[in-house]
Structure 1
Amino acid sequence: MTATRDALRGATLLMAMVGIAGCAAGASPTLPQPSATPSPSPVESPTQTGRSAGMPGCPNFVEVVETGPFPDDGTEDGPLAREQSRLSDDVEAAVAYGAEHADEYASIRFENGPRVRIVIAFTGHIAEHCAALRELLEFSEEFEIILRERTEADLLAMQQEIVDLARPFLLSAGSGGVEGVIQVSLRANGEEMARHLVERYGDAIHVTVGVLSFPDRTRPDGLTTCSPTLGSLRRDTPLRATLVVDAAPVASGADFTATVRVANLGISDFDFQSGSPATAVVYLPGKVDAIGTYAGGIAGVGAGKVLGPLESIDIDVVGGTASCDPALGYALPPGSYEVRAVVDAYAMHDNGPTDIGYILSEAAPLTIVP
């Protein structure tokens, strides 16, 4: 598989993502003062002439990109991969064309459902770009062209400005996605910064604080609790996990670190395969549904060993106080809580797929302060 094909397997292309390393656990960064220099004005929307000019002469123009399921088996040579590979030369040609017209080029991506095709965006002269691409691309009926307000160059410049301004609170910032805006993810204690960014950049950005959208404080899934994203709770193991939080108390909105010791309480060897670091989730005392979680990124590595009877292994843990319940705010309020580590526990099979599961550590106390 070529590097180009690997890079384009997802729904979007040319995604510019900036990850910011976490501040020290428990630290609360100071909100920086905005520069006295005003932000560049957003690029003006195309005129009505430019908007309508692309419709009569461009059969590839769409106002709304249709989405939907695409049947795929998830393998590297499955239907989705084959379709994207078939269009890969057209993608490279379209990217090169966009680079030659950077003053109006906005983005390019694959849309995978209900059929695979290329979606390319410009800020104006739709008919001209459409005609040129129809001549250039091999599969002229398998791309769609859309209108955007801002070029890729404008978004990248704005993104860098946001990174510099929001750095103490920033988890990530990326442009080039489906919505044509900059996606900004802030720490759970970044509500004031989020308000400042939205006031400054308006609809050019979408901000998430912790795990909740700003300013409406919602979640795409509509849930109010935190659940492990992969696998199911394993109750068939002789493993016992004990959690020790490194520092207490923890400031509301801050992250923390811990260590979980996983011991084999069985009478025979247990092949324990997991990952490090594990993550922690926070509960109200005595409750079974988690309401707080870690919202940052994780660069995990494999961890594990064959544990003999009563043998143990220590695994690093990262946790956070981002609220999963919109009613509680972006960060868990001060109070007494319990925290458990979610420890991956994979079941390997010689002639079958790996079963992904997890175990929960015993609860440890956690105090959150203002």
Structure 2
Amino acid sequence: MTEEIRLWRIDRTGMLMEIQRNKLSLEDRLEQWILNDITILSDNLLIIGEQVQTLGGPLDILCLDSNGDTVIVELKRGMTPREVTAQALDYASCIKDMTAENLDTIAKEFLTRKNGASKSLAEEFEQRFGIELPDDINQRQRIIIVGANIDDSTERIIHYLSENYDIPINALTFQYFKNDGDEYLGRVFLLDPEVIESKMGKTGTRKRTPYLKYDELVEIAKENKVLELYTRLWEGLRNIFSGTATNVSSLTFNVISENGRNIVMGLVPTDSDEDRGLKFYLYAKRLTDFIGISREDLIAALPVNKKDWCYTEANRGNEFWSGYEGYFSNMGEANRFIEKLLQSKQKIN
């Protein structure tokens, strides 16, 4: 049975008054609340579509998590019938076969309606999570069934699928309270969300390449004989930008701006060697906007071995996603680059 939430208000005298639970009458309200603020389900979700057409019918809400996995959110009024479990599994089977291009199309349509302007999935993902969109998105699918109540048979099915087959499926109930014109929502998960997320790596046959750890990148730089360059740039740049992160191949530097947290530059020891040097890529507009350096001065500060670069072909022509890539071949180039950025940042501070 769904766990019941009881809620009390403490008045000025210290007396307790229980707030009575009310029936959540409109599924449209619940859906709109979720669309307006997905954090009521999870802090780790980005909505990319609503009423998404699949071979199994229209899926209520489609999300991505920060790993690039898809999350199917299915909403139901009142008591959730046992059929909703089969329906949600059907949706997941349809979403499983969608390509990155399919999901990008869905996201663009949704984000255009939401924001009033065309925005790519990669842009929205990076703004939401502060990391680049993984190349291998939709490797796993997770299901969240949302309702005011969950019936016993649906609970049994979800427990069975999760505990016996490691299928990442969960149910979430919202309990609605109203008192003196104020409204309140309480949230209860059927299963521990962290346990469900841990199952994402157990199901299916496709394996996602894990993000490298900081010490692993150091070892790779050492093996590829670019450790001195890597260490100098890491130590010199991390105090200039807002933070660092890693992905499957790179150490990335990010900045916080009006567009959210965005990657501005990456060092790629995995694609470096003694002859060419340490590979880098950077987003020119993001860097010039943050540091206050001119494009001409930036180009002059870059290594000799550089060329124009864009995150993906689909983003070519979009200056927010364009910049340069190349190789730092010696310490002189690394020091000149760091010093020029420091000088520019000190001027604007």
TM over 0.5: no
Structure 1 or 2: more helix by fraction: 2
TM-score, normalised on structure 1? Answer: 0.26
Q: With a CA cutoff of 8 Å and minimum separation of 6, indicate the structure with the bigger relative contact order.
A: 1
